[in-house]
Amino acid sequence: MVTIYDIAAKAGVSAMTVSRVINNTGKISDKTRAKVKRVMEELNYVPNQTARSLVLQQTRILFLLITDITNPFYTTLARGAEDAATKNGFRLLFGNSDESLDKESDYIQTILSTRVDGVLVAPAGDPSLPHLEKLRRHNIPFVLLDREVPGIGCDVVLGDSKEGGRRLVEHLAEHGHRRIAMINGSSSISSARLRLQGYREAMKLHDLPCGELDIYETSFGLRSDLSGIEAWLDAMPEPPTAIIAGNNVLALEVMSVLRKRGISVPEQISLVCFDDLGPYADFDPFITVIAQQAYHFGYIGMQMLLERIQEREPSAPWKKIVLPAELIVRRSVAEPPSP
């Protein structure tokens, strides 16, 4: 591998001169600069970023840790983050925790040892706290995306989950639904908690019945086994006329179970969810959703992270951005079937 010394030797200058040419610093005569550049081209020289990071104490690499790389919400978010990062001369690496605390922990370790300059995290849930404290202890700036974690102070970009929950209930109530059930992610995840809270408040406000059996708490991630969902549907004494899914993955899974049972949406049951389906919503614009501005989550989060890294205002108070929830009405809601 060609090093800066090889270039220096061949160009008949010192390594420092080559370094100055590379970084455009200090004073170099045009003649020397040209000669060094020519030699670099000739030998296909590429500076060793590892060596550079070691002395500069910064990598200009940022990390985005998401919980589900196959979920379009996160890939769209990733695009936003990437765009903001490259626009500022940083590179972005991705990691995928799969909603697992263990994998998340591994990635945190990787992040610490790689000495990245900053991290964007969609945490697996409240128990992610120790992971975040680790980042804090090691002075690595980070911004939370989509989910808050109680107990840690930091910048965070959230969606208006509670409001989203309310709106979905209202939308269904307007169509005459009274038996509205909800399937949701774990309550150890702040967004799931707020979605549920919004749902509960709106149900109460509209004087709709809502027993504990109407709510099913499971994981946001993709599962191979849908029997939990089946059991839940069977357990409700009076079947619901509408279901709210806490995210897009859960909606897919509920849909799959309903189809298997020959229950048609929206004729026999209405179905709505949080999070849009990315490009696929376009394909068959079927399901009514609370859409989140996924791209903006990434873009804004990245901007906040870069501000912390470049510390325009040292130790500014933590910021919390809440992006609005938008109801997109499509074709998955109808009047409840007459009894």
Partner DNA sequence: TAGCGTAGAGTTATCGATAACATTTCAAGC
Partner DNA sequence: GCTTGAAATGTTATCGATAACTCTACGCTA
User: Please, which residue, 129 or 208, has the CB nearer to a copy of itself?
Assistant: 129
User: Please, which residue, 194 or 249, has the CB nearer to a copy of itself?
Assistant: 249
Tokens 């040292």 found at:
314
Contact code string over 53-82 relative to DNA, x by CB under 7 A = -xxxx-------------------------
- 146: number of CA atoms within 13 Å, CB side? 30
Handedness of CA 129, 130, 134, 136 (dihedral sign): positive
Selected from 88, 110, 197, 219, the binder of a copy of itself by CB under 8 A is 110
Distance between CA atoms of residues 295 and 82, nearest Å: 10
Burial 233-245 (b: 16+ CB within 10 A, else e): beeeeeebbbbbb
- Within residues 112-171, the interface with DNA by CB under 7 A covers none
Distance between CA atoms of residues 74 and 80, nearest Å: 10
**Contact partner, 13, from a copy of itself, DNA, none, Cβ < 5-8 Å per class:** DNA
- Within residues 37-56, the interface with DNA by CB under 7 A covers 47-48, 51-52, 54-56
Pairing of strands 288-291, 270-274: parallel
Selected from 26, 176, 279, 337, the binder of a copy of itself by CB under 8 A is 279
**Contact partner, 127, from DNA, a copy of itself, none, Cβ < 5-8 Å per class:** none
User: Please, which residue, 283 or 338, has the CB nearer to a copy of itself?
Assistant: 283
Is 32 one of the binding residues for DNA (CB under 7 A)? Answer: yes
Give the type of residue at 13: V
Tell me whether the omega of the peptide bond preceding residue 266 falls within 30 degrees of 0, making it cis: yes
Assign 128 to helix, strand or coil.
Answer: helix
Assign 143 to helix, strand or coil.
Answer: strand
- Within residues 22-61, the interface with a copy of itself by CB under 8 A covers 44, 46-51, 53-54, 59
Distance between CA atoms of residues 69 and 75, nearest Å: 6
- The first and second tokens of residue 291, run together, are 């859409």
CB of residue 201 to a copy of itself, shortest distance in Å: 29
Q: Which residues bind a copy of itself (CB under 8 A)?
A: 1, 44, 46-51, 53-54, 59, 69-70, 72, 75-76, 78-79, 82, 91, 93-94, 96, 109-110, 112-115, 134, 137-139, 222, 249, 251-252, 255-256, 277-280, 282-284, 286
Q: Which residues bind DNA (CB under 7 A)?
A: 1, 3-5, 12-20, 22-23, 25-29, 31-33, 47-48, 51-52, 54-57
